[in-house]
Amino acid sequence: RSGAALTAQSPYVLSLSTVSKVGRRYINQDVRITRTGKPILTVSGGRSSLGGYTATVFGATGFLGRYIVNRLARSGCTVVVPYREEMTKRHLKVAGDLGRVIFIEMDLRNTPSIEESVRHSDIVYNLIGRDYPTKNFSLQDVHVEGTERIVEAVAKYDIDRYVHVSSYNAHPEHPAEFFRTKGLGERVAREIYPETTIVRPAPMFGFEDRLLNRLANAANVITSNHLQEVIRPVHVIDVASGLENMLHDDTTTAQTFELYGPTEYSMRELNEIVEKETLKKRRHINLPEKIARPLFKYLNKALWWPVRSEPEVEREFYNQVVDENAKTFRDLEIEPVELNTLTYQYLKGYRSEAYYDLPPMTEKERREEKKYLHVLD
């Protein structure tokens, strides 16, 4: 419906006419209606756009979180960011205009803090997840019980939309603990709030990923499955765009989406791409599962920084299986990008300083004939 017709008595009409008087005719106003009939006024105007929606993003401090918060806040939505640690959320403040990004301290076991985070929102995204158990939270605590508390709050406050980010291969009976708890989380979400939109991303790559960076960072690549695992890596920005589209498209309600990249890669192929881009050759060590699992279980408890964990070793033995019944990027009108078109951009920082693309900057450097190897790409 057209914004002008709907807002005949709206106070915003005044402000729009004032705006057009000063000549900013490019400002575009529209009214959207949410699933439950709530009118949402949107005004496009650069960084000061009004997105109209209020969205809560649980897990916004993580890798995917920053991209979805950025997209929502820059389109003028009010984004509520529940956080646990002051320092982990600072970068999100500047994603939108002043007052667009709101922080609320939250604990996954503290129901009032969860309710406080969701009660004013039109949509709730749940991105909370962990690859490894920590001393306070098992995978079951994070993926199942945490989800349950969040979805109960969503149902209690009758929030319009709930988007649950799960994982590829998620299934309640999967032999691997990570995929199993993710599957159980999906089931709990659908039981409490049947309109839940489930999103299962494939392993994601991007600047802060744990896929290419982990391979590139390693002095020796340590695996247990001879790098045989087959996955369909997806660009994190494509997944974030998909999540943003879901806000504007109510037909995605109660649907399951599997978001994966266009090409299948084995970990060996990915490792070769990483070696080619970083111009480094590393040793590959294959630790048998029987040794790797107890070893990483122990290390993960003894060390206080994230190291490889037992569930991650377990996950190596399962290829990504695509659910043919689930919807994909095509249904969101997004064309996912190819991994190999972006690996140079993401991995060039790992190249040795011996390789640089610029000619000598000073006369002194030129005289000293500082090594100028070749221009890359």
Applying CB under 6 A, which residues contact ligand NDP? 59, 61-65, 84-85, 88, 108, 127-130, 137, 142, 165, 167-168, 201, 203-204, 210
Sort 116 into a burial class: Cβ within 10 Å, 0-12 / 13-18 / 19+.
Answer: middle
CB of 130 to ligand NDP, least distance (A): 5
CB of 357 to ligand NDP, least distance (A): 30
Token digits for 76? 């003028």
Among 231, 177, 170, 176, which residue's Cα sits nearest to residue 199? 170
CB of 65 to ligand NDP, least distance (A): 5
CB of 201 to ligand NDP, least distance (A): 5
CB of 285 to ligand NDP, least distance (A): 23
Among 315, 344, 358, 366, which residue's Cα sits nearest to residue 130? 315
167: left (phi over 0), alpha (psi -120 to 50) or beta: beta
CB of 142 to ligand NDP, least distance (A): 5
- Rounded to whole angstroms, the Cα distance separating 296 from 284 reads 17
Q: CB–CB of 122/40 below 8 Å?
A: yes
- CA dihedral of 55, 56, 61, 65, whole degrees rounded to 10: -50
Task: Please identify, using beta-carbon distances, which residue of 118 and 204 lies nearer to ligand NDP.
Answer: 204
Task: Please identify, using beta-carbon distances, which residue of 76 and 185 lies nearer to ligand NDP.
Answer: 185
Q: CB–CB of 82/108 below 8 Å?
A: no
Task: Please identify, using beta-carbon distances, which residue of 142 and 151 lies nearer to ligand NDP.
Answer: 142
Task: Please identify, using beta-carbon distances, which residue of 85 and 173 lies nearer to ligand NDP.
Answer: 85
Task: Please identify, using beta-carbon distances, which residue of 258 and 277 lies nearer to ligand NDP.
Answer: 258
CB of 88 to ligand NDP, least distance (A): 4
- Rounded to whole angstroms, the Cα distance separating 62 from 85 reads 12
Task: Please identify, using beta-carbon distances, which residue of 34 and 140 lies nearer to ligand NDP.
Answer: 140
For residue 238, the surrounding DSSP H or E stretch is helix 236-248
Task: Please identify, using beta-carbon distances, which residue of 96 and 185 lies nearer to ligand NDP.
Answer: 185
Residues counted in the chain: 377
Task: Please identify, using beta-carbon distances, which residue of 31 and 176 lies nearer to ligand NDP.
Answer: 176
- Rounded to whole angstroms, the Cα distance separating 200 from 185 reads 12
Sort 172 into a burial class: Cβ within 10 Å, 0-12 / 13-18 / 19+.
Answer: middle
CB of 134 to ligand NDP, least distance (A): 7
